[in-house]
Amino acid sequence: MARYLVPGGAGFIGSHLCTRLCAEGHDVRALDDLSSGHRSNLDGVDVDLIVGDLRDRDALESATDGADFVLHHAAIASVQFSVEHPLEEQDVNVVGTLRLLEAARAAGVKRVVFAASAAAYGEDETVPKQESMRAQPISPYGLSKVTGEHYCRVWSHVFGLETVCLRYFNIFGPRQDPNSPYSGVISIFARIMLDGRIPSIHGDGEQSRDFTFVDNVVDANMGACAVSSTAGEIYNIGCARAITI
């Protein structure tokens, strides 16, 4: 049994991680300010929920105390918000990640898994996407995630804190809030059709995405903790299959 901290643990992906970890008998703690996450996502899950901000030193010290692994999924995950409020978005996603890395280092955490994003690739139309491709984000959100990757790499190189970065592609699944402005196209279209309406598709409908079921993301996080050779690496997490809208 290991001790896990899941920042963003009451959110869409984080709650699935907490559910799996608890089912496997691990000791699980979540840190979430509930700005987009929901307590109800953790109903029936034996997790210690700390309601706090990622940038709060005291909350981070309490949350990381005794943790073996940190699965970092706390962020403002919205391109639109990052464009409208770039300073706030960078403060949460970049400064918050930096504070978490420092807290994890001080607490003796074995490894931090960072939820990165395919937004790192920007408008590069090359397929399939390779981790070796140059990052060229085109939004403040994408930039914040690439910056987080660099901080993880530097903290691993300079301080010896093992880190793994996972670049997610268009995740969908249960607990994805269709009413959230941060939600993906699958949950939004599903809500519209369940309401008896017809979804609007902008463009010719030939836009393609690599959609990833949330359980696959959970598997990737578990593997990132379990396999020693993953330390210091960046991995794309997708299904390697383009689906048109």
Is there a catalytic annotation at residue 141? yes
- 22: exposed, middle or buried (Cβ count in 10 Å: 0-12, 13-18, 19+): middle
Closest listed residue to residue 171, CA positions, set 183, 158, 154, 162:
183
Q: Which residue has the tokens 């953790």?
A: 42
DSSP category for residue 95: I
Closest listed residue to residue 33, CA positions, set 52, 60, 19:
52
Residues 6+ apart with CB under 8 A from 196: none
Both structure tokens of 105: 């280092």
- The catalytic residue among 4, 121, 141, 151 is 141
Euclidean distance between CA atoms 238 and 167, whole angstroms: 8
Report whether 12 contacts 18 (CB < 8 A): no
Report whether 163 contacts 152 (CB < 8 A): yes
Between helices 96-107 and 140-159, what is the axis angle to 10°?
Answer: 20
**Which residues are the active-site residues?**
141
